[in-house]
Amino acid sequence: MTTEKKETVDKGDDKTITKEPTTDAVDAPLATFGEVFSFAETFKTRLYLVIGLFWTVISGLSLPTAIFFFSRAMGEISAIVEEGLDPILYVVYSLMIVGVVALVSETLQSKSMAFRFVLCP
């Protein structure tokens, strides 16, 4: 599809630029899930893709979880004066656990993709 009209832009120094019509992206049908992963010919390749997808989801959930616990820490800062550091320590330990889970899941995600390319050429 092309736009019908040409635009002229006056630069102010007696030069006029004419912009040509642009070509819009053609609406093509989207590929199905099976078409996208059709290169996975063996069971081993599919297994590594599924394992990598699982760890991708887990590592993707780690950031919203960390944001949730961080927002709780910001809300409980005023409680330090009254209750001490106990509410904040819970959030700190929770963030440490989320960090370890994120590290492990991202490592296993990359390892499963590396195994796929090394073991299943």
Cβ 70 vs Cβ 88: under 8 Å:
no
Cβ 109 vs Cβ 59: under 8 Å:
yes
Residue 97 has pLDDT above 90, yes or no: yes
100 vs 81: which has the higher pLDDT: 100
In a domain, 111, yes or no: yes
In a domain, 80, yes or no: yes
In a domain, 1, yes or no: no
Residue 19 has pLDDT above 80, yes or no: no
In a domain, 20, yes or no: no
Domain that holds residue 105: 43-121
Question: Chain-wide mean pLDDT for the chain?
Answer: 76
pLDDT of residue 2: 47
Domains in the chain, number: 1
3-state secondary structure of 112: helix
In a domain, 9, yes or no: no
In a domain, 32, yes or no: no
In a domain, 23, yes or no: no
Distance CA 48, CA 41 (A): 12
